[in-house]
Structure formats: C-alpha cells, structure tokens
Structure 1
Amino acid sequence: MRALDCTTEAPCPPSRLRIALVTETFPPEVNGVAMTLERMVDGLVERGYDMQLVRPRQASDSTPAGAHGFDEVLVRGLKLPRYDGLRFGLPARSRLLREWSRRRPDLVHVATEGPLGWSAVTVANTLRVPVTSDFHTNFDRYSAHYGIGWLRRPVAAYLRRFHNRSATTYVPTAELVRSLGDQGYARVEAIGRGVDTALFDPLRRSEALRRDWGLAPDGLAVISVGRLAPEKNLGLVLRAFAAIREQRADARLILVGDGPLRDTLARTCPDAVLAGTRHREDLAAHYASSDLFLFPSQTETFGNVTLEAMASGVCTLAYGYAAAAETIRDLDNGAVVRCGDEDGFIERAIQLAVNDRLRAELGEAARRSAEGLSWGHVVDTFADALLRAWRRGGAAQPWPAATGAGGRAD
C-alpha cells in the first residue's frame, strides 16, 4: 500500500481508508465514464484502499457482486432512455443509510448525478461523512440534441446544486474548472485522464483488418470512434469524409460504436464500415489500423477516445477543447481547429488526408505524447485528492435530510 502520510496539523488516516464510490455506470457497460471509473477503482484497490462500489444492477451483469475484489452494493435501476444497455440508479436513501450506518465509510465519492447519486450525497451529509463528486458528462448540453433544449437551464441548475453539496467536484481539464467556476460551481479541481499505452499501440496495426474493410494496400482509413448519437456531431464526420473522397477515391470511412443513429448513418453513407462496438485488443486494432481519426464532438467533458487514438499512433483531428486542448498542439502532434469552425475542420481534414508524410509524422508525435500520460500518475493524483478531502472532514454544507431534487431525498 502506498504510504498515507499524516502531519501534526491533520489527522492520520486509517490504515485502510474506506471509500464508497457511487456510480450509475461501470463495466461491463461500454463508455468513457465506465472505463475511467474502472481504472480509478482498480488503482485505488492496488494502493491498499478499502473500496465499496455502489451502482445499479445492470442487465448485462454476468458476475456476482464482490467478484471483482471489492465490496459491491447493487441497487435497483431503470433503463436509460435512448441509451441501450445502460441503466440509471433509483433513489436508495434508506438502503444507503442502513449500509453506511452499519459500516461507515471514511469518504463517499459520487461519480454520477442521477437519483442514486443525489441519495448518496444526502446520506453522506446526514451522517457527516466527507463527500466528493465527479463532473463527467455535460447533460445540459445533450438536451439540445434530443429535442428537449428547453430543459437545458433546469438541468444546468440541478447539476450546479448537486455538485455544490459536495466538498469538492473533480473535473478532467483546467478549462472545465474555469467554465464551471463561471457558472457558480464552488470548489472545483482538475484531475486529468490517462491512457493504456500497452493496449493502444501502433504495433496492433493489422493489414488483414484493413483488407476486411475493403481498403487497397495504400488506401486511407478514416475512423470515428464513439456512440452513434446526435450529440457526437457525426454529420460533420460525414461531410468531412465526403470532401476527403473528392481528393482520395481510395478512402474508406470506419465508424466504431453503436447507438440510435446507426440505421440513419447506414442509409446516408452506405459505403461506410459500421464496425459496431469493439472491446480491448479488438478496439485497439481498429484504431491502429486506421490513418486519420476525426472527432468533432462539442459535448465532451474530456473525450477518452482522443488519447486512445493518439496512443495508437493515429493522426487525430478534433476541436480545440476538452482532451484535445489539453494534449494536442496543432500540426505538431495532431490537429485542432476552433470550436464550431466546421469549414476549418473540413479543410484541415482534407489537408491531412492528402499529405501522407505529414499525417505519419503527426501520428508518431501523438504516440510520443501519449506515452507520458500514464494511468498510474492519474490514480495517484486522485488518491491524494480524496485523502485531502478526508482530512478536511465533513460535507461542504450539510442539507436537511428531507431535501432533494424534487423536494424529497428519495
């Protein structure tokens, strides 16, 4: 276990700090938040922390609770609309109050902002257990892409209220620290993201896979990885690829992921390879076997796929915010354009598509950059942040136990 040092000014932590991590999503679900949390939980366990994971029981669960090497509390959940395979946790105030009164955690960390998360913050505040939170997803921005833009302001207000009930909110970029601070969020701290450079590696490039995609030996594989959903701005991927095809008839579009737009994309771009959801080595081979990664989303808090593409040695083009703003230097280790500049995005995509040497140099530089972004350093930073929150003690400002998002804690 990594030493948990203490000073005369602060209490010395227990020999095994017990942390209850509450989340609506966790593997086997496939998304960036689930993957990030798995890395964090595994890393904390490896460092000797006593972890409890509180999450909804997922339809895809195939292993019993506790089989992962840490304590799990599985609660009721419901299917998340328009997100097949994902569920959100129902309020569980009574269950958590019993669990945490019986075996009190030293700190509660709430990773998602649904009803389960609200219950967890309420119970932690009631029991005077220090509570921290994560801001992983711009749910308020998503509303405009699903025909409920009128909900953006109420959702934003709920998220702000939710996070201001915790002692500290952790976000993945310094840019998001500033943005949330301007919106009235208090006590926001940046903790970055890492990438598994052993898994995502240029050496996984597969000529057999490229042949399966229908590519000629020197053909151009343009890839997009992520959920096939409106918030990912995939229309710009299609427009950029159409412009590329006018210059490179040997180009092929590879869409990795699944979601509500799959059928629409198949009709709109019948020549595209719809690879579906891919996992681990298979996913890594899809990245490494590609030549140009396009990521025009503007709704990410980070975008783990950016680091995965870079680690795979793939030339990456993205808007200059979130992960790209933190890690990509334009035309040095990738390419970035100003957010919302669709014409600039398409022009840069063409520039990269027609210049094989430039694309290769940027991909090699991207790999070198990714090699310095280890998960070990990220987990150490997260562990230190949780320890500081434990030392400070207590919630930021306890709320009445009966108060909740709709007037009730449950």
Structure 2
Amino acid sequence: MPTSNSLEIAFVTETFPPEINGVAMTVGRLVGGLRERGHRVRVIRPRQGRGDIGGEHELALPGLPLPGYAGLRFGLPAGGRLHREWKRLRPDLVHVVTEGPLGWSAVNVARRIGIPVTSGFHTNFDRYSVHYGLGWMRPAVAAYLRTLHRRTLATMVPTAALAADLAGEGLNGVRVVGRGVDTRLFDPRRRDMALRAEWGGGADVPVCLYVGRLAPEKNLNLVERSFAAIRLQHPRAVMVWVGDGPSARQLAIDHPDHHFAGMRTGADLAAHYASADLFLFPSLTETYGNVVAEAMASGLPVLAYRSAAAAELIVDGDNGRLVAPGDGEAYIRIAGEMAMSAEKWPRMGVAARASMHAHRWSSVVERFETVVREAMC
C-alpha cells in the first residue's frame, strides 16, 4: 500500500518481461520489489508485438527490432509524448534502464522539466560491437553511453569493479546496487534424474551446462574447446546448451552429439540448472551475468573468467574456479584439471549454493531505494 514516504517512479526501459534476458529479469524484479514496498511504479517501454497496448501501470510506445537480437526492440524518440505524460502525471523520479533513443528522450525531458533522473548501466554495448564486425564503432558507442549517464544524478551498477571502471573514465555518481538471485526457484532440489536420462547423463556421467544467449559476444568457442578437454577425461560426458541466438544453428551443426534445449524459463529452467554438474561460462562482455548466480544457487560449481559477477561470487577452488580474463588457454587447462577431479564437484556445488543465500533480491531493492532517495536530496 502507498504511504506518505512512497515515491512515484517512471521506469524507462527497452526490455521488460515476458522478454527473456538478464536486463528484463532484473528490471522485473526491481519493479515488483518496489511495488511491494509501497511505491507507485509506471513502466515505459517499446511495444513487444502487434496489439501490445501495455499492462496496468505500463505505457507501451512505438519501437523497432534490435539488429542481431531477434525478439527484442528499441524504443523510438518520444520526447513529446513523455513531456505530455509527465506534465499530466508528474513522477517524483525517472529511472532510465537502457540507453536507446527512448532513454535519451526520457533524460532530456526529465532534465528540461526538473524531474530528478537516475540511470542503470546494464549492458556493455561498446564491447558487443567488436563481436559483430563493428569494432571501429566501439569508441563512439562508449562515448554515447558515458554521455547519457553523465547527465543523470546517479548511475547504478551491479559490481564494485564496474563502478571503479566507470569512475576511472570520469563518470560521477556511480553507485553499486548489486543483483540478487531467487534461491527458492534456483535450488539443487530441482534436480531431475529423468531429465538427465534424456540427455544421456547417468549417475557416473558428468553433465556440463551453458545457459545464455548463443551469440558471438558470449565467447562460445571456449565452451566448445573446454568441453572437448573435459571429454578427454570423461568420453561419455554430456554438453547441454540452454538458450537461443544467431550462433545456435551453427553450433547444432558442429555438435550433433550435444543437447540443445532452446529457451527455458521458470521451474523448467531451474530444473535444467540443477540437473547438470558443472557450469561453463567464459563470457567477457557481461556487466554482471545473472546466470552465474543462478547456476551457483542451483548447486553447480562454475568455471568463469575473473570478471563481473564471477569475480565477486566465486572463491577460487572453493565454490568454483576463476581464470584471468582473456586467458583462453588457461581456461581450457583448468577445465581439464577439473575433469580429472570431478569427485570434488559436488562439494564445490554445496559451497556455491551456501554462498548465494546472502544475495536476496529484497536487499537489492532496498539498496536501489536508498540510492534514489539520496539522489533526490
């Protein structure tokens, strides 16, 4: 229920559930958590398909498909519409989640009519450009992103390392808010032996897992090579891929013996995590990487680069293994070493699960509220 201390917040985002990606999930959790705490939150986003008129407390605006990201859209400039909306129903705060044209419009309008505006840094789009043959655009994309965030009162990021990076680039007002994980959903008790049997993974056959977008920026070649190293020790080992994207078709052609599960959500996704034994995640383009936390909450040791969420959540040798960022040969070598001592994986998985209990979404929502109240003072 709204209280005298509740806020009217406009969340401006290019992606929102039921779209499936880390940003949409995070925004959905924040919006839901803020509403539970009595705040009135209105979501402003692009239409997600023909006939989409938005839900309760949502404003759906025109958008276009995002190149290379099937199923996602970016919002078009909407300065006039936002100006009219916020003159009619003025929010206490505008929070801009994504940096597309809709986000720029929101920052411009909020500043022009004197509404406090904050932002979130969720995606390293400048790093993504390298993987799509547009590396020459990286400096311009980075400058675009930093310029938008410099015009807001606070920029919220998921990790201390990212905060330090952005502060080092001259971005003021960076605040660490973090990310949470649903430990009730992602739980080792969802392990499904029938699902493992479908994959060909018995009690003595290790199952390796990747969850995420199947796309060049995720460094999937290293998953392939690392699993090959694991198979040298365990020839019957199983590789399961959960997700979709532009690389899916070629991966399936190259590895007809791997299992491609496609997109999974909710309890089905949780069962896929819990039914595996080791999570392979070599991406270097993440600002966080929700899947790392989800895998650990599900009781899986994770092999990852010392970057983003992995750098903050994994204690090397205890609940997973870490590799110096970018050292692909070391990543493959450690995958092989882990395969030679697979009997340690269950113990590491128990430690991974235990380490996630402190990462509640409620704490993240509380931190978000604290940051926006400080920014408004």
Assess if the C-alpha contact under 8 Å between 2:47 and 2:54 holds in 1: no
Assess if the C-alpha contact under 8 Å between 1:19 and 1:52 holds in 2: yes
Taking a change above 3 Å as real, the CA distance of residues 170 and 221 of structure 1, as seen in their structure-2 partners, is same
Q: Residues 147-176 of structure 1, C-alpha deviation per residue, up to 9 Å, x if partnerless?
A: 010000000110110100101100000000
Task: Tell me, in whole angstroms, the C-alpha distance in 2 between the residues paired with 1:389 and 1:250.
Answer: 55
Structural RMSD (CA): 1.3
Task: Tell me, in whole angstroms, the C-alpha distance in 2 between the residues paired with 1:123 and 1:33.
Answer: 23
Task: Tell me, in whole angstroms, the C-alpha distance in 1 between the residues paired with 2:142 and 2:44.
Answer: 25
**What displacement does 1:60 show?**
7.8
Matched, 1:66 2:55: yes
1:84 is paired with a residue of what secondary structure? strand
Assess if the C-alpha contact under 8 Å between 1:353 and 1:359 holds in 2: no
Of residues 101, 105, 115, the one that matches 2:91 is 105
Task: Tell me, in whole angstroms, the C-alpha distance in 2 between the residues paired with 1:362 and 1:61.
Answer: 48
Q: Residues 210-251 of structure 1, C-alpha deviation per residue, up to 9 Å, x if partnerless?
A: 011122331110000000000000000000011111111110
Report what 1:224 is aligned to. 210
State the 4+ residue runs in structure 1 displaced beyond 3 angstroms: none
Q: Provide the aligned length of Structure 1 versus Structure 2.
A: 377
Of residues 179, 184, 190, the one that matches 2:176 is 190
Assess if the C-alpha contact under 8 Å between 2:44 and 2:61 holds in 1: yes
Task: Tell me, in whole angstroms, the C-alpha distance in 1 between the residues paired with 2:104 and 2:198.
Answer: 47
Task: Tell me, in whole angstroms, the C-alpha distance in 1 between the residues paired with 2:176 and 2:90.
Answer: 27
Task: Tell me, in whole angstroms, the C-alpha distance in 2 between the residues paired with 1:199 and 1:370.
Answer: 12
User: What amino acid maps onto 2:309 in structure 1?
Assistant: A
Task: Tell me, in whole angstroms, the C-alpha distance in 2 between the residues paired with 1:204 and 1:2.
Answer: 37
Assess if the C-alpha contact under 8 Å between 1:216 and 1:250 holds in 2: no
Matched, 1:321 2:307: yes
Assess if the C-alpha contact under 8 Å between 1:290 and 1:314 holds in 2: yes
Report what 1:76 is aligned to. 62
Task: Tell me, in whole angstroms, the C-alpha distance in 2 between the residues paired with 1:304 and 1:215.
Answer: 25
2:245 is paired with a residue of what secondary structure? coil
**What displacement does 1:287 show?**
0.3
TM-score for the superposition, normalised by structure 2:
0.98
Matched, 1:268 2:254: yes
Report what 2:272 is aligned to. 286
Taking a change above 3 Å as real, the CA distance of residues 200 and 60 of structure 1, as seen in their structure-2 partners, is farther
Taking a change above 3 Å as real, the CA distance of residues 61 and 85 of structure 1, as seen in their structure-2 partners, is farther
Report what 1:345 is aligned to. 331
Of residues 356, 362, 368, the one that matches 2:342 is 356
What does 1:47-58 align with in structure 2 at a 5 Å threshold?
Answer: 47-58=37-48
Structure 2 residue runs of 5 or longer lacking an equivalent are: none
Task: Tell me, in whole angstroms, the C-alpha distance in 1 between the residues paired with 2:167 and 2:320.
Answer: 29
Report what 2:199 is aligned to. 213
Structure 1 residue runs of 5 or longer lacking an equivalent are: 4-13, 393-410
Task: Tell me, in whole angstroms, the C-alpha distance in 2 between the residues paired with 1:246 and 1:184.
Answer: 47
User: What amino acid maps onto 1:367 in structure 2?
Assistant: R
Report what 1:203 is aligned to. 189
Q: Residues 76-111 of structure 1, C-alpha deviation per residue, up to 9 Å, x if partnerless?
A: 000011101100000000000000000100000000
Of residues 313, 322, 337, the one that matches 1:336 is 322
Assess if the C-alpha contact under 8 Å between 1:316 and 1:335 holds in 2: yes
Taking a change above 3 Å as real, the CA distance of residues 201 and 208 of structure 1, as seen in their structure-2 partners, is same
Task: Tell me, in whole angstroms, the C-alpha distance in 2 between the residues paired with 1:361 and 1:134.
Answer: 36
Task: Tell me, in whole angstroms, the C-alpha distance in 1 between the residues paired with 2:159 and 2:278.
Answer: 25
Assess if the C-alpha contact under 8 Å between 1:28 and 1:61 holds in 2: no
User: What amino acid maps onto 2:23 in structure 1?
Assistant: V
**What displacement does 1:262 show?**
0.7
Taking a change above 3 Å as real, the CA distance of residues 41 and 237 of structure 1, as seen in their structure-2 partners, is same
Matched, 1:302 2:288: yes
Task: Tell me, in whole angstroms, the C-alpha distance in 1 between the residues paired with 2:242 and 2:190.
Answer: 16
Matched, 1:369 2:355: yes
Task: Tell me, in whole angstroms, the C-alpha distance in 1 between the residues paired with 2:166 and 2:73.
Answer: 26
Report what 1:140 is aligned to. 126
Assess if the C-alpha contact under 8 Å between 1:256 and 1:277 holds in 2: yes
Assess if the C-alpha contact under 8 Å between 1:107 and 1:131 holds in 2: yes
Task: Tell me, in whole angstroms, the C-alpha distance in 2 between the residues paired with 1:91 and 1:175.
Answer: 32
Report what 1:179 is aligned to. 165
TM-score for the superposition, normalised by structure 1:
0.90
Task: Tell me, in whole angstroms, the C-alpha distance in 2 between the residues paired with 1:60 and 1:95.
Answer: 20
What does 1:399-410 align with in structure 2 at a 5 Å threshold?
Answer: none
2:201 is paired with a residue of what secondary structure? coil
Report what 1:17 is aligned to. 7
Task: Tell me, in whole angstroms, the C-alpha distance in 2 between the residues paired with 1:243 and 1:353.
Answer: 8
1:156 is paired with a residue of what secondary structure? helix
Of residues 36, 39, 43, the one that matches 2:33 is 43
**What displacement does 1:208 show?**
0.3
